[in-house]
Amino acid sequence: MEAKNIKIITPKKIVLRGFIFGPRRNQVIYILLHGLSGNLFSRLEIVEKMVGEGATVMVFNNRGYGLISQFRKINPRRPEAYDSVVIGKAHEVFTDCLDDIDGAINLALESGYKKIILIGHSTGCNKIAYYLSKKNPASVKAAVLLAPMSDYADFKKFTNPKIIKSATKKAQQLVAAGKSHELLSADIWPYYTDAQRFLSLFTPDSLEEIFSYAVPEKKPLILKKIKKPVLVVLAGDDQFKDRPMIEIYDWFKKALSGQKAELAMIKKALHGFGGQETKVKNLIFKFVKRLK
């Protein structure tokens, strides 16, 4: 694949590294956001299929890259120098996705691309949905959400209730004490996650709990605020489902009613769509073609 190494500098001066794959002559560019603790290579098989048919795709490491990752930030007093900030899945603040996506869109426009399609996988879907509920840039023509799932639903279904109670209580105590970025101890929660990130991922009222099929009383307000056309592609055999996928499909159908949205399911696909990349590519291209 033809590739160009890129450096995204977000409005908040975080440096994100990535690539643009595909022909530079295209006016349309697809911007792909990877999922929780993923990286720019996470869905590269889908990117290869798309680029193979002439598309241009931007991939980059967003703030959720890896478990604990060091990023560069431009020093405002010394623009030629960098400060180091520790982020990654464990320390990421969900709402900072606005800054990441703005940075990617700005670079695409500066590079001469006129039309943008945002594609998210897994947690990347939450980020794109949240972004488009807050912003409606003319350059973004549509969004594609691949395997949008609820982390809270998976957590609630497969975690011991005693662990849920103790970990949630501890995380709340740390946030209240001004220690939002302190990691939960291994005896409380065995995965690298700080207090604010735990509450963001695993509590029903958080902003990040957008696909709230596990919380019947929570209205899908963020989805309802999206004005762009949206394609949702579910993986029928998704490992992170807490219920039959048809029930999740029906929730999305109801949540997106009245909007410019399309819904599809690839029945035998796992969460990462391994082996089903051609079907994913075809769904995306057909959706985008119908936008014209």
138 burial class (0-12, 13-18, 19+ CB within 10 angstroms)?
exposed
Separation of alpha carbons 207 and 152, rounded Å: 12
Residue-wise pLDDT for 46-60, tens only, equals 999 999 999 999 999
User: What's the half-sphere exposure (Cβ side, CA atoms, 13 Å) at 103?
Assistant: 24
Question: Which tens digit of pLDDT belongs to each residue from 127-180?
Answer: 999 999 999 999 999 999 999 999 999 999 999 999 999 999 999 999 999 999
- Domain residue spans in the chain? 3-150+210-291, 152-208
| pLDDT tens for each residue of 90-109 | 999 999 999 999 999 999 99
CATH of domain 3-150+210-291: 3.40.50.1820
- Pair 35, 54: CB distance under 8 Å: no
Instruction: Write phi, then psi, for 101 (nearest 5 degrees).
Output: -70, -40
pTM: 0.96
